[in-house]
Each structure stands twice: as structure tokens, then as C-alpha cells.
Amino acid sequence: MSDFDPADRELLAQVREMFDEADPVPEFLLDAARATFSWRTIDAELAELTNDSLLEGAAVRAARVPRLLTFTADVATLVIEVAEHVRGAGIGRRLLGQILSPRPAEVDVRHAAGTWSVTADEFGRFRVEEVPPGPISLACRFGGATQPQLVTSWVTI
Amino acid sequence: MADPSTSDLVRDAAGGDQGAWNQLVDRYSRLVWAVARGHRLAHADSADVFQTTWLRLVEHLGRLRDPEQLAGWLSTTARHESLRVLRLGRRERPDDDIAGARESNDPGDAGPETALLASEERASVGAAYTRLSERCQGLLRLVVAEPGLSYANVARALGIPVGSIGPTRGRCLEQLRRLLDEQAAIT
């Protein structure tokens, strides 16, 4: 899109300057983006987000209907139910997870505010309370492994 | 020395080079932010979209089909995430510790247009811009954030047909120029 005549180029430069002044990328977000590199996992299979109930159906979501996220990889499929969970002053989300095919696992919910570690039972079910809104990714270890074999794509909850 | 190509930076970052990653962040942050703000998301929601987009790239570094087209991948990812966050609805986050900028009187909090109006007096370009149609605002913001973005990627990021990008862009620039002339005439 760089095929502009000089007058357009000059006008666009003014627009760019205006944005840099009025609505720049906040410095704390630039720092956060640089720091995201530390979340890099090697050797884990990536489970892509293959379904999000939020993007289906009516444009306006019925209030308080839990959201279903499905992450798919060769090693396992993860279905996560995200419910808004209002308690006290904070507003967190409650995650109910199901690993398919069912099996026990150690599950880490990775979040900018910290990591929540839970154990999935023999039926592959797990539950995490009060996860703050924001980007999350889940990392799963099966059969006592020390490194995650599966990580999910990041998604905002 | 010439700047390293985007695909070189992606390759080095995939190999564990934090410096290459930082350069990618510096090169494309404006674009990711522009896509989120172009969807009229509030500040905290834009922050989530921005962070999720970079986090998703961390996991995809070694899996990109065409690393040179990273701008397109980032703008598409940011758009999808913006649509999700729009569907989530405006959230109250009283305990939000991510955004130091979330004071109650923060003009950025209500959405990008409010922040721009606040700058009206010091920048007449901002005043003229806020009078453009939503489509023109989104398009021009993307163009200035990443001039190298292809028509196809601009179309995808805005959810409009690729064939309309060229004519729309011309019309938007023309409108902006006319609004600036009008403002100049009355002041």
C-alpha cells in the first residue's frame, strides 16, 4: 500500500504523527510484549483454538451463558468451559476443563498475573477458580513428564 | 547496514534470540495496536488484544507459513482477537493491575475517539480525523501504522472487500483534506 503521491504521503505523515502523540502504544505494553518471549515453549505440541462458542450464533450473547473453547492437537483435545464468576470485589473466571481422550494430567493455566497449577483427575477433568480476565494459555503434562507435551494457543478470556 | 528482513528476525527469534524478538515487537507494535484501537475497543480491552496477539506469535514463531508476511498474520490475528473481545462485552475490572492508565478520568478509557478529541486543540489533524467515517478512520490508521501492508491484508483486517480498498483509500484522503481546508477557513 505504499503507492502514494507526495501530497498524500505528507498528509499521512501528519496522521501518523497525530497518532503517535494522541494514542501511542503504551510503554508498559511494549515492555509486556518484549517479555512475552519468556513464555516460549519448545518441544510442546501446539493445540490450536479450533472452536469458540463466542464467535457462533447470535451477535449478542445471552448473559451468563458459559463460553466453550476447544483446542485441538494430535496428543489430545482440550475443551474448556469459561464462566464469569463474580465473587466479592474481583471479577474472575471459572474454568472447567476436560481432556479428551480422558486421562490424568498436570495442567498449568498460564496468565500474565501468574500460573495456576491443577491436577486433572482420571477422567481428564479439572477446575480452576478465579482466573482474572486477560490472555491465557494452558500447558499439560501427562504421565509424570516434567516438561509440557501440549500447550494451547493463547486466547483472551 | 540494512535492517534485517522480517523473515530473518522471525527465524532468529524462533531459535531463541530475544534481541530479534524485540526488533519484531518494535517493528510491528504500531500495527497491532492500530488494529485493536480501530475496532473501537476500550483501553484495557485493546491491551488484552495486543498482548494476546504477541503471545500467540511466540507460540507460532516456528510455524509461520510465510514469515515475510508477518504483518498480515499479525493484523489478522489481532482482528480475530478484537472480534472476540467485542463479543465478550465491556468488562469491569476494578482490580485491574495491568493498566496503570486506567484512572477513572483517563480519556483513553472510553475508546480511541475520545482520546483523539482530547487532542483536538493541539492537533487539527486529529479533529478532522474524528469527523471521518468509521471505515475511513480504520483504513487510514492501518495505512499509517504499516504502509507496507498489502491490499489483501488491509481488507482482511477491516473485514471489507479487497476491491474497495483502493477507491476507499482515495476517497478517505480526499475527505480528510477537505475537512482540514474547512477548518482552516473558519479559524
Tell me: the pLDDT tens digits for A6-36? 989 999 999 999 999 889 999 999 999 999 9
DSSP B132: S
Per DSSP, B3 falls in state P
- At B113 the pLDDT is 63
Q: How confident is the model at residue A68 (pLDDT cuts 50, 70, 90)?
A: very high
Answer yes or no: is the ipTM higher than 0.90: no
B60 vs A contacts (CB less than 8 Å): 46
- Ranges assigned E (strand) in chain A: 45-52, 67-72, 77-87, 90-100, 105-111, 114-120, 125-131, 135-141, 150-152, 155-156
* Contact: B55, A151; criterion CB under 8 Å: no
Residue A111 phi/psi, 5° resolution? Answer: -150, 150
State the nearest Cα–Cα gap between A61 and chain B, in angstroms.
7
Task: Quick: pLDDT tens for B25-66.
Answer: 999 999 999 999 988 888 999 999 999 999 999 999 999 999
Q: Give the end-to-end CA distance of chain B in Å, rounded to a whole number.
A: 47
Partner B, chain A 90-149, Cβ-Cβ below 8 Å: 90-91, 112-113, 132-135, 137
